């Protein structure tokens, strides 16, 4: 990259799966003083065009099989000066045709390069290391930049005994994509601490993940709940010996039933963590305090199903109506964070004003915090069902539904109602070859929730739509079913 004229501060983008060339770029780009911009390959063409241009990327490193993603936008990327195809040799037949951009193959460039002797980057700790863009549900994605200091401290936090405790004797497999918040910072931590790292490549299936974890004796694996639901399905069909000491689950709330399945059926601890693109992402981690070890098994599970306690190094508060909310486990408010690896603005974006205040990040997540400091997400502010002036937590309803032995996935959204403003609708995917009725779901919920919380209907689907990083796409359900309760013909 130095021979291509890359300078300090230049943005260098990667459009790649979890593979070793991508891992090499994770370190080469920041050590040159350039800015690593990991591009989400699951974004729309319009969003890809927007973020590459907004970041003003000079170089693109792209997996060969992902080149077709650039075809619709290749003539509209004015800042890109060089394309590096992450492969052995250049295949001109597959390369984009753009006279303004030079094209090279990754391995050809390496073969031509000379080693950098006694290289000392001498980078200021507050210089930029990388940037990611949020996966937007409305509007354009928002850019978040990370400093060398922030990523170094975040990496240290990943090695703490009461977080993921990544160490030299671990074999770590990030299933979370390397284009999503730097694979939760795992590549930086794993390599720094000397752990082995297993990269599962493009679009691994649950069967691929189980095979890799078994063959490579993976001790720590990380992914979103939908990944572990798929893995659980495979393990239920065919028991497989695993060496896991921890499954790290984040990205969205882990259902208690999923935690119970991994720990009781598969004998694998499942740890729940919470964060955002803006928090690099680690913010809270759910570990049971030693003082709570005397609680019943069900009470312990209830605590470990929360988003956990604040990671050392950060500050946290709960806000509602411009006031701090007490940590009593009942009062709801918006989570705010501040700290050395928490963003305090968006990259060249006027939306900064709505999301940051006096250095605090306003997450948009509604939560309660217990007197012990355990955060429990109630909902996103946009996902709360606001019925008759009261709040209904879609997350609480989802977790209870997913505890049913015949349910594979569940989502709850609020849709317009002529009298109550909004009412909840439940969407349920049954497990394979299982039968379940609406009455079964309502009866299950009736045991734990007041009548006015119960969904107005239960709709059975073959699959719940998901975002580019595997979260439930509730907005799509809200749009599709926005007239469901107001249609007089229903």
- CA angle at residue 180 from 176 to 183, to 5 degrees? 50
Which candidate in 278, 345, 409, 422 is catalytic?
A: 278
| Active-site pick, 79, 391, 466, 471 | 391
Taking alpha carbons only, the member of 19, 27, 175 closest to residue 87 is 19
Q: Are the C-beta atoms of 248 and 165 separated by less than 8 Å?
A: no
Going across the sheet that includes 11-15, the strands are: 102-105, 82-86, 57-63, 11-15, 35-38, 128-133, 143-147
Q: What angle do CA 3, 56, 24 make, to 5 degrees?
A: 50
Residue 420 known to be catalytic: no
Catalytic one of 14, 38, 134, 261: 134
Q: Is the peptide bond before 202 cis (omega within 30 degrees of 0)?
A: no
State how beta strands 315-320 and 421-430 pair. unpaired
Distance (Å, whole) CA 161 – CA 172: 16
Q: Looking at the DSSP assignment, which residues form a beta bridge with residue 145?
A: 131
Give the whole-angstrom CA distance, residue 67 versus residue 78. Answer: 17
Whether residue 278 lies in the annotated active site: yes
- Cβ distance 421 to 390 under 8 Å? no
Residues 6+ apart with CB under 8 A from 352: 345, 346
For 1-124, where are the alpha helices, taking DSSP H only? Answer: 20-31, 45-55, 106-112
Catalytic residue status for 296: no
Among residues 362, 386, 438, 466, the one annotated as catalytic is: 386
Active site annotation includes 24:
no
- Nearest Cα to Cα of residue 173 among 223, 132, 241, 211: 223
Catalytic residue positions, numbered: 134, 278, 386, 391
């Amino acid at each position: 990259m130095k021979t291509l004229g890359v300078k300090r501060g230049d943005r260098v983008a990667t459009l790649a799966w979890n593979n070793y060339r991508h891992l090499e770029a994770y370190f080469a780009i920041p050590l040159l003083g350039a800015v690593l911009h990991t591009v989400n390959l699951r974004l729309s063409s319009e969003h890809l065009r927007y973020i590459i241009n907004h970041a003003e990327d000079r170089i693109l490193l792209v997996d060969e099989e992902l080149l077709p993603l650039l075809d619709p936008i290749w003539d509209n990327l004015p800042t890109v000066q060089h394309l590096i195809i992450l492969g052995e040799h250049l295949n001109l037949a597959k390369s984009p045709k753009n006279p303004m951009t030079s094209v090279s193959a990754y391995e050809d460039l390496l073969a031509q390069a000379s080693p950098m002797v006694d290289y000392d980057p001498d980078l200021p700790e507050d210089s930029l290391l990388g940037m990611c863009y949020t996966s937007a549900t409305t509007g354009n994605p928002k850019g978040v930049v990370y400093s060398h200091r922030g990523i170094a401290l975040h990496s240290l936090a990943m090695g703490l005994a009461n977080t993921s405790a990544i160490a030299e004797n671990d074999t770590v497999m990030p299933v979370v994509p390397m284009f999503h918040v730097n694979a939760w910072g795992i590549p930086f931590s794993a390599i720094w601490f000397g752990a082995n790292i297993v990269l599962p490549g493009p679009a691994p299936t649950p069967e691929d993940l189980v095979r890799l974890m078994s063959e490579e004796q993976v001790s720590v694996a990380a992914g979103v709940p939908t990944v572990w639901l798929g893995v659980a399905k495979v393990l239920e069909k065919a028991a497989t010996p695993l060496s896991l000491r921890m499954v790290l689950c984040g990205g969205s709330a882990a259902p208690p039933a999923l935690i119970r399945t991994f720990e009781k059926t598969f004998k694998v601890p499942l740890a729940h963590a919470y964060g955002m693109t803006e928090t690099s992402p680690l913010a809270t981690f759910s570990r049971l305090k030693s003082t709570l070890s005397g609680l019943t098994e069900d009470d312990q599970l209830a605590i470990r199903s929360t988003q956990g306690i604040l990671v050392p190094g950060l500050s946290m508060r709960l806000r509602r109506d411009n006031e701090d909310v007490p940590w009593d486990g009942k009062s709801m408010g918006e989570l705010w964070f501040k700290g050395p690896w928490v963003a305090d603005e968006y990259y060249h974006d006027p939306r900064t004003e709505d999301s940051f205040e006096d250095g605090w990040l306003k997450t948009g997540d509604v939560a309660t915090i217990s007197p012990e400091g355990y955060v429990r997400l109630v909902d996103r502010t946009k996902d709360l069902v606001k019925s008759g002036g009261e709040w209904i937590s879609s997350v609480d309803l989802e977790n209870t539904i997913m505890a049913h032995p015949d349910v594979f996935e569940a989502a709850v959204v609020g849709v317009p109602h002529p009298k109550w403003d909004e009412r909840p609708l439940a969407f349920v995917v049954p497990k394979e070859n299982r039968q379940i009725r609406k009455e079964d779901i309502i009866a299950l919920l009736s045991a734990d929730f007041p009548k006015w919380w119960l969904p107005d209907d239960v709709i059975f689907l073959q699959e719940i739509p998901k975002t580019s990083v595997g979260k439930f796409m509730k907005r799509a359900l809200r749009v599709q079913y926005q007239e469901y309760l107001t249609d007089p013909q229903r």
